[in-house]
């Protein structure tokens, strides 16, 4: 996966309660790797082939002024793929352990989709860890009691041997990965480069990568974010792809309206899907810059 990281970035490893966790940070020139710089943590979305690569077109823009921490969460990318049915608390704990082991608290966390929603829950539990949040399409995929993520019946996903076949056909080949990106994640297929496809494919093909992906597909990680977001106190900005599938921008506005004290800004990004930071990184970089100086 290192070939997909920006120049001057390399990987480091920490040990967590669920296994070894890889993260990307400045390790070489031209970057100043002083530990005195403020920290920025970038957390990727879930779904077949997900990894820290998702934010790689954005986080290098802050490498001159911040220490960058972009982990592959447990079960994804190059981090350890524990053989288990992953649950919500696994990832809340995983994110908490990562921040405590790597960063000087409090930190600014930049996260997307379901991981952004899990970060909100952690920020409610341990607000002292966070300075601010910048979240892209935060959703629990069961918001306001309306399931928006799963597209296959549970009896199919859980059937012996069928789960392997579903993952192999849906995530472990180049055609499937490109189709997944084009059909579900991007608003404009022309923005899907060969590098993006190869990065997602390399992550999806890691040994035991299916376990976290199937936990997501089954809905084991879904929850109703509307039941939690009112308790958030950490200053937060939200961006949302105006053409995001599964989690419509109107859903995002409803969630943001539940807590206008903490959620200071909400930006719709035209002509983008659920990953505006990978489709239009230049726009998202500018908005993060605005958030950091406010």
Place of tokens 């990894």: 51
Half-sphere exposure of 22 (CA within 13 A, CB side): 19
- What number of other Cβ atoms are within 10 A of residue 88's Cβ? 17
Q: Per-residue pLDDT tens for 184-213?
A: 999 999 999 999 999 999 999 999 999 999
Look up residue 18 and give its two tokens.
């669920």
Residue 203 exposed, middle or buried by CB count within 10 Å (0-12, 13-18, 19+) = buried
Q: What is the pLDDT along the chain (294 residues), one digit of tens a residue?
A: 446 889 999 999 999 999 999 999 999 989 877 778 999 999 999 988 999 999 999 999 999 999 999 999 999 999 999 999 999 999 999 999 999 999 987 999 999 999 999 999 999 999 999 999 999 999 999 999 987 655 544 444 444 444 565 566 566 688 888 988 998 999 999 999 999 999 999 999 999 999 999 899 888 999 999 999 999 999 999 999 999 988 999 999 999 999 999 999 999 999 999 999 999 999 999 999 999 987
DSSP states along 8-49: TEEEEEEEETTEEEEEEEE-STTS---TTSPEEEEEPPPSTT
Phi, psi angles (nearest 5°) of residue 133: -125, 140
Place of tokens 């935060």: 138
Look up residue 123 and give its two tokens.
């920020």
Q: How far is CA 114 from CA 29, 126, 141, 252, in A?
A: 34, 18, 7, 12
DSSP states along 268-293: EETT--S-HHHHSHHHHHHHHHHHHH
Q: Per-residue pLDDT tens for 169-181?
A: 566 688 888 988 9
Q: What is the pLDDT of residue 35?
A: 79
Q: What is the pLDDT of residue 172?
A: 66
Q: What is the pLDDT of residue 166?
A: 58
Cα angle 149, 160, 203; round to 5: 55
Look up residue 47 and give its two tokens.
């779904």
Q: At what angle do helices 113-125 and 88-102 cross, to 10 degrees?
A: 70
C-alpha–C-alpha distance, residues 64 and 60, integer Å = 8
159 Cβ contact list (under 8 Å, min separation 6) = none
Q: What is the pLDDT of residue 251?
A: 96
Look up residue 291 and give its two tokens.
């958030």
Q: What is the pLDDT of residue 164?
A: 60
Look up residue 104 and give its two tokens.
């000087």
Whether 136 and 249 have beta carbons less than 8 Å apart is answered as no
Domains detected in the chain: 2-293 (3.40.50.1820)
C-alpha–C-alpha distance, residues 111 and 116, integer Å = 5
Place of tokens 């070939």: 3
Q: State what percent of residues in the chain have pLDDT above 70.
A: 90
C-alpha–C-alpha distance, residues 28 and 33, integer Å = 8
Least Cα distance to 138 among 121, 152, 125, 150 occurs for: 121
Look up residue 163 and give its two tokens.
């789960």
């Amino acid at each position: 996966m290192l070939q997909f990281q920006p120049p001057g970035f390399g990987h480091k490893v920490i040990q967590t309660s669920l296994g070894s966790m890889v993260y990307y940070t400045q390790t070489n020139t031209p970057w100043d790797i002083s530990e005195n710089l403020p920290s920025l943590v970038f957390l990727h979305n879930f779904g077949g082939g997900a990894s820290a690569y998702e934010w790689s077109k954005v986080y290098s823009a802050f490498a001159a002024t911040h220490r960058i921490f972009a982990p592959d969460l447990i079960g994804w990318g190059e981090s350890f793929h524990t053989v288990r049915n992953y649950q919500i608390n696994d990832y809340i704990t995983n994110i908490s352990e990562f921040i405590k082991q790597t960063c000087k608290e409090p930190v600014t966390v930049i996260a997307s989709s379901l991981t952004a929603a899990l970060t909100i829950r952690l920020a409610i539990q341990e607000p002292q860890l966070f300075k601010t949040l910048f979240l892209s399409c935060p959703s629990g995929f069961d918001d306001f009691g309306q399931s928006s993520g799963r597209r296959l019946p549970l009896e199919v996903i859980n059937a012996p041997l069928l789960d392997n076949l579903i993952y192999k056909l849906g995530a472990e080949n180049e055609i499937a990965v490109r189709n997944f990106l084009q059909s579900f994640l991007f608003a404009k297929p022309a923005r899907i480069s060969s590098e993006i496809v190869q990065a997602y494919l390399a992550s999806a093909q890691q040994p035991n990568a299916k376990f976290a992906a199937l936990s997501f597909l089954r809905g084991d990680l879904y929850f109703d974010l509307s039941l939690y977001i009112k308790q958030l106190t950490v200053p937060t900005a939200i961006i949302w792809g105006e053409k995001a599938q599964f989690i419509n921008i109107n859903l995002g506005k409803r969630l943001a309206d539940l807590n206008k004290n903490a959620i200071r800004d909400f930006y719709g990004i035209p002509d983008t899907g659920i990953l505006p930071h990978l489709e239009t990184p230049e726009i998202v970089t500018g908005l993060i810059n605005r958030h950091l100086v406010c």
